[in-house]
Amino acid sequence: MKAELLSLEGKKEKEITLPEQFTEEYRPDVIKRAVLAIQANKRQPYGAKATAGIRASAELSRRRRQYRGSYGKGISRVPRKIMTRRGLHMNWVGAFAPGTVGGRRAHPPKAEKDWTQKINNKERRLAIRSAISATAMKEVVEQRASFTKVPVIVADGLEKLAKTRDVEALMNALGMQKELERISVRKMRSGKGKTRGRRYKTKKSLLFVVSGKCALEKAAKNLAGVDVAQVKSLNAELLAPGAVAGRLTVWSEKAVEMLGKEKLFI
């Protein structure tokens, strides 16, 4: 499979042969399974405190002639705690039992629950290869992005870009103006998340794949929805956010070479 190598000005420099990972069969079912496994393994365990709702003393005797007992009072057998009393007359309020104010929950979430999912190494690698090949399929990419001249492979000067304005200039030179406009539109979140530091929802946009640690990792950080990943650290979720493959991806020349020479994910 052949592809054009572009300069930082968006002009064709030469034609290169893509490694075998780009020819993998497109398998959305395997990609989805791998992404869901990654998301499940990132979940933070949560649960109620073991003593939540059962800290109050709510013992109530059912025996005849027992002080503080409810025998003969004509009340149900709900555990109750005494709020005030006058002689032998008690002012009770339901406590401890599920359904009472401040009582325990019948089936609270438990912190010991195991959310992790296992996935075979061969299956995980197949998902990554399939997601890589999807980045070079026009009909798959056009479902997610407004730019369809794929695959996009840029000369090694890409990794040396140190300013956000240079990254924007590159995107304009490649013809990704519509993509920049798309990610600039912010949508306000509905619900309580607005008060918890996530007021706006961010769209997923471009993914830059580089060969290693470089200046571009910091330069692209200020662009909403844009991610930079080292080729050895690629996973199914980066290439297919939300388990939907076809993310618009810009590869550096060196990253593509490394993919072929080191036979990554095979």
Are the C-beta atoms of residues 241 and 247 closer than 8 Å to each other? yes
* Measured distance CA(65)–CA(74) in Å, rounded: 15
Q: Give me the DSSP letters along 200-263.
A: EE-----EEEESSS-THHHHGGGSTT-EEEEGGG--HHHHSGGG-----EEEEHHHHHHHHHTT
| pLDDT of 95 over the 90 cut | yes
Query: Going from the N-terminus, what domains does the chain have, and what CATH number goes with each?
Result: 2-43+115-261 (3.40.1370.10), 46-114 (no CATH)
pLDDT value at residue 12: 93
Q: What is the DSSP letter of 159?
A: G
- What's this model's pTM, rounded to 2 decimal places? 0.86
* Measured distance CA(182)–CA(206) in Å, rounded: 11
Summarize the confidence of residues 161-183 as an average pLDDT: 93
Task: Decide the pairing of beta strands 187-188 and 200-201.
Answer: antiparallel
Per residue in 48-92, pLDDT (tens digit) is 999 999 998 898 888 888 877 888 888 888 999 999 999 888 899
Are the C-beta atoms of residues 125 and 21 closer than 8 Å to each other? no
Give strand pairing partners of 61: none
Q: What is the DSSP letter of 10?
A: S
